[in-house]
Structure 1
């Protein structure tokens, strides 16, 4: 009997050890590097505080229009952010399609702390180009919502849009793997739920009710943390919501509808 009990225990310990050692490989499945520079965008480089140089893409805003800093999901790249903003660019919005360490041939290894550093580096580069922090809109898709939320919590957003976000990575992983002590094993947590309540800016949260990767309940929980947050659920939409025209139109309506607030934030003395 002891031998029969020992075998599954050893197997369980091996699974736990494998997940502990390789969790960031699963959390950040960067696609193969490749792809050119989309028309209208420029390839840019900016340094991080820990000595990396990241490559990303940029398109300047039309006069008096905000600039979007777009943080993509964990299995995507900055070129996919261009596709997800193709209805915003014709309206004059600028886009910095941010990229992460370890993605698209960039040096370094992804982590929560590292991605936050990468987000700050993108914002610092924009400031060097004369784009003020108060003229920035943060948009984050999936795990990129964690980076966007962190940047907004640091005061770097006139508005925040989260698409298919999780309430926290800790909660999501615990739901996916209830048989593991994830609270003890997980290195990256992305506590969006703790940060969103403190953000004083227009907030839009979009989620599909057919999303099987991040259940729609996460978006509802997030929206409940901030009374100012607008929540829209898209019937039948999955985790690819960010690239659907209906989501892009909703983001455009949200930004245009908050144009007066964004202008007020750009000109706080008026």
Structure 2
């Protein structure tokens, strides 16, 4: 065997191994375990209370309730490598405006039991929306960050009339689009268990849509947020010029949040 033939065979074998690794390990890559064991937030916190929330009889996240009668319901879907416990500061934004907030947890994350896969997280997100709709009347709004933006968008599909407004923060247009950019030598569009196409999921949704993009985002480049907003009639795009994927929350001030709520028609 010549050296050239050996190198070609070695390269092909390495490519196939990498291909198989990407296919079978995509859930671990997209949904890594949280860095530490999540601590329960249950209890009284100044002007609101936090308690475990259940969907169909099983723990599914937290319910954050203001002291006054809630104006409606916000549902928050967190990003990867996070847990519901990380999202209390975001929940506070909406609680202080008079809304109850459900912080959704995915199976295998935080204090929720189950298999940690993208498809399980998707099923749990859809189940959570249905459970919230059944539990409370009034306006229901969704807020998703990063991976959670993808989950929120997918949960809307088929439930368009049940959602009064949605905000997607540092989102993808589709997971396949992001993955194909990061791994151009692999046929990732065929390898993903689900393309998680947010554009397609929102195609029949006619309610208020706010897209918040971080212009320094290297994980999900801003072009994906721009494409998502640009393909949906009436979408509002808010750009954070100095923020990246991890610090967008610190870049949001009261003026930003008031604008988001106005665009969502939830002010």
Q: TM-score, normalised by structure 1?
A: 0.86
In structure 2, which of residues 101, 107, 113 is the aligned counterpart of residue 101 of structure 1?
107
Q: TM-score, normalised by structure 2?
A: 0.87
**1:179/1:256 CA distance change after superposition, 3 Å:** same
Q: What does residue 64 of structure 2 align with? A: 59
In structure 1, which of residues 237, 246, 255 is the aligned counterpart of residue 243 of structure 2?
237
Q: Deviation of residue 33 (structure 1)?
A: 2.9
> Are the equivalent residues in 1 in contact too, given 2:199–2:232 (CA < 8 A)?
no
> Are the equivalent residues in 2 in contact too, given 1:112–1:190 (CA < 8 A)?
no
* Cα-to-partner distance string for 1:72-93 (whole Å, 9 max, x where unaligned): 0011111122122322222212
* Cα-to-partner distance string for 1:123-145 (whole Å, 9 max, x where unaligned): 3433453x12x511000000111
List 4+ stretches of structure 1 deviating above 6 A: none
> Are the equivalent residues in 1 in contact too, given 2:170–2:245 (CA < 8 A)?
yes
**1:202/1:241 CA distance change after superposition, 3 Å:** farther
**1:184/1:152 CA distance change after superposition, 3 Å:** closer
Q: Superposition pairs for residues 142-153 of structure 1, below 5 Å?
A: 142-153=146-157
For structure 2, list consecutive stretches of 5 or more residues without a partner in the other structure: none
Q: Superposition pairs for residues 1-270 of structure 1, below 5 Å?
A: 1-31=4-34, 32-37=36-41, 39=45, 40-47=49-56, 53-60=58-65, 62-63=68-69, 65-129=71-135, 131-132=136-137, 135-153=139-157, 154-155=159-160, 156-244=162-250, 246=252, 249-256=255-262, 258-259=264-265
Q: How many Å separate the matches in 1 of 2:201 and 2:132?
A: 23
> Are the equivalent residues in 2 in contact too, given 1:87–1:249 (CA < 8 A)?
no
SS in 2 for 1:54: strand
Q: How many Å separate the matches in 2 of 1:99 and 1:69?
A: 11
**1:29/1:258 CA distance change after superposition, 3 Å:** closer
* Cα-to-partner distance string for 1:84-134 (whole Å, 9 max, x where unaligned): 2322222212110010011114222233432232123323433453x12x5
Q: CA RMSD in A?
A: 2.2
Q: Give the total of aligned pairs.
A: 255
